[in-house]
């Protein structure tokens, strides 16, 4: 028995801070990095009698996200109280959504080399984030060994959307790929910066394993608040290894919460998971249900940009899976699209965008695609350095291809012949090596001719001439 006899079953709960000006239920401004406890008010500090007022923008953004995830949008969504005690939660409950989330069942098409996988979305609901606890003092400043804890209430009440997937992911690699593409989808909707390093995107990872072919699921481990793609992948791998070992040894695997320790690359039990009932969810009495008007939903639907997964699928037939993924995940596919629309050949455009344009460090959005398409069309007859210079200039204001196209490579054989002969005469050793069967030296000889012509010679013609002369 080995890990490969087992299949991983993974479901994610992804939290993203929404990009609103103010908090979810009060008018405090959200400002990352503001001095601690300077963005608070009676509502987000839970003073008696303070009442929440929902943030309309956050509701719209959640609907937008729901639509992008093909979710059904609730006609009547309900805020609910999720009760628990913790110093970062001054009300003693978090306002969330439970039975009637804004966005219900949906699906996410995940492009894979061998076709799309469909990842079920259970729900996407709107809630408020807790405040931030900082464990301070002590030798390390970490929670273990800290002398005391401080709470920064600036973050308390930040609008947070939670996306819950079905347990449809089947490997660490697939889960990380899903998370990356979901993140890009969220960012492109303009509703969140979704930066793991800043904590504006966090994921809880649920993992179990089962024997290949087995029906049903086994108990899962939940790894909370992962804040790096790398650690999400490693934590899943660790969970798979540890669970397979336990199952094979006949040891019990119980549902509980685990922490990932990067130093040991192992998971350790955090605490056993509370049942949903422990939270004593009930409808928030201070808020009326949210009833999004159909016109609003349709307007938001019309505003949706083409999703990254859809773009990958659209351009894949022309450039292949890997290139499509690279173009879309680097956000360079828009330039690719514009080049193709301007008449460039798909693979030529894809390669130029991923290689020369990327290496030139220019802003793809600023590139004049019509002019660059002309350069790409002529690139085979342009000297390499002229071609690269043209690409590097293609984002300059007023860029024109014409002056570059005039500098065609010298492909006139009669002009190149004397240079080729001179190079052969100057390199008798290489010529002997070539004639001895080592054809690899041809590249060196081509290089010499290119040098003599300062890159202006057409390498294909040089190649042909060299072969002819060496055969004679």
Q: Does 315 bind Zn ion (CB under 5 A)?
A: no
Give the residue ranges of DSSP H helices in 268-320: 294-303, 308-319
**Smallest separation (angstroms) from ligand ADP to the CB of 18:** 20
455 to 20, 43, 66, 459, 469: CA distances (angstroms): 54, 70, 55, 9, 21
Contact between 41 and Zn ion by CB under 5 A: the answer reads yes
Find the shortest distance in angstroms from Cβ 105 to ligand ADP: 13
Decide: is 97 part of the binding site for ligand ADP (CB under 6 A): no
Site string for ligand ADP, 257-296 (x = CB under 6 A): -------------------x--------------------
Element (H, E) at 225: strand 221-226
> Which of Zn ion, ligand ADP, none sits in contact with 165, Cβ below 5 to 8 A by type?
ligand ADP
Member of 18, 24, 28, 369 binding Zn ion (CB under 5 A) = 28
Whether residue 309 contacts residue 68, with contact meaning beta carbons closer than 8 Å, is answered with no
Q: What is the pairing mode between strands 256-261 and 221-226?
A: parallel
Residues 207-236 that bind ligand ADP (CB under 6 A): 207-208, 217, 220
As a whole number of angstroms, the longest Cα–Cα distance in the chain is 99
Closest CA to 240 of 164, 165, 171, 176: 171
Minimum distance, C-beta of residue 125 to Zn ion, in the bound complex (Å) = 21
Binding part of the chain for Zn ion, among 23-31, 201-209, 381-389, 427-435 by CB under 5 A, reads: 23-31
| Other Cβ atoms closer than 10 A to 167 | 18
Is the Cβ of residue 158 or residue 242 nearer to Zn ion in the bound state?
A: 158
Q: Is the dihedral of CA 289, 290, 294, 297 positive or negative?
A: negative
6 has which bridge partners? Answer: 211
Neighbours of 292 (CB within 10 A): 19
Least distance in Å: CB of 120 to ligand ADP? 8
Give the C-alpha separation, 236 to 266, whole Å: 10
207 binds, among ligand ADP, Zn ion, none (CB under 5 to 8 A by kind): ligand ADP
Of 164, 318, 346, 392, the one binding ligand ADP by CB under 6 A = 164
Out of 12, 24, 26, 169, the only residue in the binding site for Zn ion (CB under 5 A) is 26
Q: Which residues bind ligand ADP (CB under 6 A)?
A: 9-13, 164-167, 206-208, 217, 220, 276
Q: Which residues bind Zn ion (CB under 5 A)?
A: 26, 28, 41, 43-44
């Amino acid at each position: 028995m080995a890990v490969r006899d087992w299949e991983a079953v993974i479901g994610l709960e992804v939290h993203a801070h929404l990009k609103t000006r103010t908090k979810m239920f009060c008018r405090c401004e959200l400002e990352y990095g503001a001095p601690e406890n300077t963005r608070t008010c009676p509502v987000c500090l839970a003073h008696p009698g303070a009442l929440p007022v929902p943030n309309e923008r956050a509701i719209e953004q959640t609907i937008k996200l729901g639509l992008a995830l093909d979710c059904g949008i609730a006609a009547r969504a309900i805020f609910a109280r999720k009760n628990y005690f913790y110093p970062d939660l001054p009300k003693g409950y978090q306002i969330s959504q439970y039975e009637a989330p804004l966005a219900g069942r949906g699906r996410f098409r995940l492009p894979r080399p061998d076709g799309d996988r469909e990842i079920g979305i259970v729900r996407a609901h709107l809630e408020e984030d807790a405040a931030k606890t900082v464990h301070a003092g002590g030798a390390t400043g970490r929670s273990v060994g800290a002398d005391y804890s401080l709470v920064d209430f600036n973050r308390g009440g930040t609008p947070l959307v939670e996306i819950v997937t079905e347990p449809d992911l089947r490997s660490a690699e697939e889960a990380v790929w899903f998370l990356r593409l979901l993140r890009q989808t969220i960012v492109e909707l303009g509703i969140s910066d979704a930066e793991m390093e800043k904590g504006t995107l966090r994921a809880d990872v649920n993992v179990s394993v089962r024997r290949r072919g087995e029906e049903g699921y086994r108990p899962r481990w939940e790894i909370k608040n992962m804040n790096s793609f790398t650690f999400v992948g490693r934590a899943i791998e660790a969970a798979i290894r540890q669970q397979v070992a336990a199952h094979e040894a006949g040891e019990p695997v119980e549902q509980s919460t685990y922490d990932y320790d990067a130093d040991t690359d192992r998971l350790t039990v955090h605490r056993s998971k509370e049942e949903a009932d422990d939270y004593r969810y009930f409808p928030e009495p201070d808020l009326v249900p949210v009833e999004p008007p159909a016109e609003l939903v349709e307007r938001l639907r019309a505003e949706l940009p083409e999703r990254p997964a859809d773009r990958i699928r659209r351009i894949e037939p022309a450039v292949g899976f890997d290139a499509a993924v690279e173009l879309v995940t680097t956000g360079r596919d828009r330039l690719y699209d514009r080049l193709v629309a301007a008449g460039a050949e798909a693979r030529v455009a894809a390669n130029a965008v991923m290689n020369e344009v990327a290496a030139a460090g220019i802003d793809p959005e600023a590139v004049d695609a019509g002019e660059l398409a002309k350069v790409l069309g002529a690139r085979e007859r342009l000297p390499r350095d002229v071609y690269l210079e043209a690409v590097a200039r293609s984002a300059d204001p007023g860029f024109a291809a014409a002056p570059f196209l005039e500098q065609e490579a010298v492909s006139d054989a009669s002009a190149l012949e004397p240079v080729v002969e001179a190079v052969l005469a100057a390199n008798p050793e290489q010529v002997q090596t070539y004639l001895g069967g080592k054809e690899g030296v041809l590249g060196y000889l081509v290089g010499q001719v290119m040098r003599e012509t300062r890159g202006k010679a057409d390498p294909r013609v040089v190649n042909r001439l060299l072969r002819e002369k060496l055969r004679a």
